[in-house]
């Protein structure tokens, strides 16, 4: 037992002096081994449906969104069909989602702008996406990375928490935008889209906000919060 503790202490001391490059390498190698096929847990069949689901997921769980979207997409599978809907019709289908009134309004406005400005298609730039009602930078980054495979990093509460705890970003990154810029500067471009899902899923199931499962975490040896 004493020998084991000594090895752990030695590893922790070594990790304290780890460079940022080494930290990113170890972290991405771990996730590549344990979550090689990481992807969004939202259910969708088209870019429009993913955009709709991500708008609904703001301050709401993916599980709840996936319970609501089958009926919503059955009634409004495309931008053109949702653009013609009334707020009352959409509200009835998403009433169990957080902030349903504003989200119903945003969904219809988003669908109408897709029809009027983008030919019914989901645009593929940050500038165009954030023009849409209900679409902020985080939502736009999800669409850019998941639908269009761009090297975009959406920073939600899980990504923000995990990246700070591990030490991928410094304490000075106090906002989602600062965190996004630091991560995109240091992560390999070819891993960016998967890294977004790695951090979200790790935060959702292991590095939880309350009662994190540190003893089960494969990153604990070099996690800055642990050492």
H-helix or E-strand spanning residue 79: helix 79-83
The answer to whether 156 is a known catalytic residue is yes
Which position has the token pair 């939880």?
Answer: 208
The whole-angstrom separation of Cα 192 and Cα 42 is: 19
Question: Do 69 and 63 form a contact (C-beta atoms < 8 A)?
Answer: no
- Which H or E run includes 8? helix 2-16
7 is an active site residue: no
The first and second tokens of residue 209, run together, are 């906000």
Q: Which of 103, 156, 213, 225 is catalytic?
A: 156
- Output b/e per residue, 137-166; b: 16+ Cβ within 10 A: bbbbbbbbbbbeebbbbbbbebbbbbbbbb
Cα 196 from chain centroid?
Answer: 6
Catalytic residues: 138, 156
């Amino acid at each position: 037992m004493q020998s084991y503790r000594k090895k752990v202490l030695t590893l922790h001391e070594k990790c304290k002096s780890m460079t940022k490059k080494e930290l990113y390498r170890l972290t991405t190698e771990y996730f590549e081994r344990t979550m090689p096929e990481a992807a969004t847990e939202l259910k969708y069949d088209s870019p429009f449906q993913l955009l709709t689901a991500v708008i609904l997921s703001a301050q709401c769980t993916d599980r709840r969104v996936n319970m609501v979207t089958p009926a919503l997409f059955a009634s409004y599978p495309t931008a053109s069909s949702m653009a013609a809907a009334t707020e009352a019709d959409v509200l009835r289908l998403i009433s169990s989602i957080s902030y349903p009134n504003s989200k119903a309004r945003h969904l219809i406005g988003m669908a109408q702008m897709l029809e009027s400005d983008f030919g019914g298609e989901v645009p593929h730039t940050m500038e165009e996406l954030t023009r849409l009602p209900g679409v902020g930078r985080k939502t736009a980054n999800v669409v850019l990375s998941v639908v269009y495979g761009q090297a975009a990093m959406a920073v939600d509460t899980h990504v923000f928490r995990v990246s700070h705890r591990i030490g991928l970003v410094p304490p000075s990154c106090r906002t989602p935008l600062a965190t996004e810029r630091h991560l995109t500067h240091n992560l390999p471009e070819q891993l960016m889209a998967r890294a977004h899902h790695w951090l979200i899923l790790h935060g959702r199931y292991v590095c939880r906000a309350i009662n994190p499962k540190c003893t089960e975490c494969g990153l604990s040896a070099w996690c800055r919060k642990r050492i």
